[in-house]
Amino acid sequence: MAEKKITIGLLTSGGDAPGMNAAIRAIVRVGIARGAKMIGIKRGYAGLLAEEFIDMDVTTVCETIQKGGTILQTARCPEFLTEEGENHGAKICEKHGLDALIVIGGDGSFRGALSLAKRGVNVIGIPGTIDLDIPCTDYTIGFDTAINTAMSAIDKVRDTSSSHERCSIIEVMGRNAGYIALYCGIANGAEDILLPEFYDGNEQAIINNIIANRKKGKSHHIIVNAEGIGHSNALAKTIEAATGIETRATILGYLQRGGSPTCTDRVHASTMGALAVDVIMEGKKNKVIAYQNGQYVALDIEEALKMKKDISRYQFEISRLLSL
Question: Which residues here bind ligand F6P, judged by CB under 6 A?
Answer: 15, 106, 129-131, 173-175, 227, 257
Q: Is 131 a catalytic residue?
A: yes
CB of 231 to ligand F6P, least distance (A): 15
**Binding partner at 45 among ligand ADP, ligand F6P, none, C-beta below 5 to 8 Å by kind:** ligand ADP
Q: Is 108 in the site for ligand ADP (CB under 6 A)?
A: yes
Q: Are 195 and 131 in contact (CB under 8 A)?
A: no
DSSP characters for 45-58? HHHHHTT-EEEE-T
**3-state SS, residue 251:** strand
Chain centroid to CA 108: how far? 11
**Binding partner at 227 among ligand F6P, ligand ADP, none, C-beta below 5 to 8 Å by kind:** ligand F6P
In whole angstroms, what is the distance from residue 36 CA to residue 33 CA?
A: 8
Of residues 137 and 323, the one with the C-beta less far from ligand F6P: 137
Residues 52-81 that bind ligand ADP (CB under 6 A): 76-77, 80-81
* Residue from 55, 57, 99, 131 carrying the catalytic annotation: 131
Of residues 25 and 175, the one with the C-beta less far from ligand F6P: 175
Residues touching ligand ADP, count (CB under 6 A): 17
> Residue type for 209, please?
N
In whole angstroms, what is the distance from residue 230 CA to residue 225 CA?
A: 7
Among residues 8, 99, 123, 16, the alpha carbon closest in space to that of 57 is found at 8
Q: Are 272 and 287 in contact (CB under 8 A)?
A: no
Of residues 19 and 106, the one with the C-beta less far from ligand F6P: 106
In whole angstroms, what is the distance from residue 217 CA to residue 188 CA?
A: 19
In whole angstroms, what is the distance from residue 43 CA to residue 70 CA?
A: 9
> Which residues have CB under 8 Å from 90's CB, separation 6+?
116, 119, 120, 121
In whole angstroms, what is the distance from residue 275 CA to residue 175 CA?
A: 28
| Interface pick for ligand ADP out of 13, 70, 250, 319 (rule CB under 6 A) | 13
Of residues 16 and 171, the one with the C-beta less far from ligand ADP: 16
Chain centroid to CA 31: how far? 24
> Which residues have CB under 8 Å from 50's CB, separation 6+?
43
**Binding partner at 81 among ligand ADP, ligand F6P, none, C-beta below 5 to 8 Å by kind:** ligand ADP
CB of 107 to ligand ADP, least distance (A): 5
Of residues 189 and 230, the one with the C-beta less far from ligand ADP: 230
CB of 167 to ligand F6P, least distance (A): 24
Of residues 67 and 257, the one with the C-beta less far from ligand F6P: 257
Q: Are 31 and 81 in contact (CB under 8 A)?
A: no
Q: Is 142 in the site for ligand ADP (CB under 6 A)?
A: no
**Binding partner at 80 among ligand F6P, ligand ADP, none, C-beta below 5 to 8 Å by kind:** ligand ADP
Q: Which residues bind ligand ADP (CB under 6 A)?
A: 13-15, 45, 76-77, 80-81, 105-109, 111-112, 115, 129
User: Would you please indicate which residues are annotated as catalytic (active-site) residues?
Assistant: 131
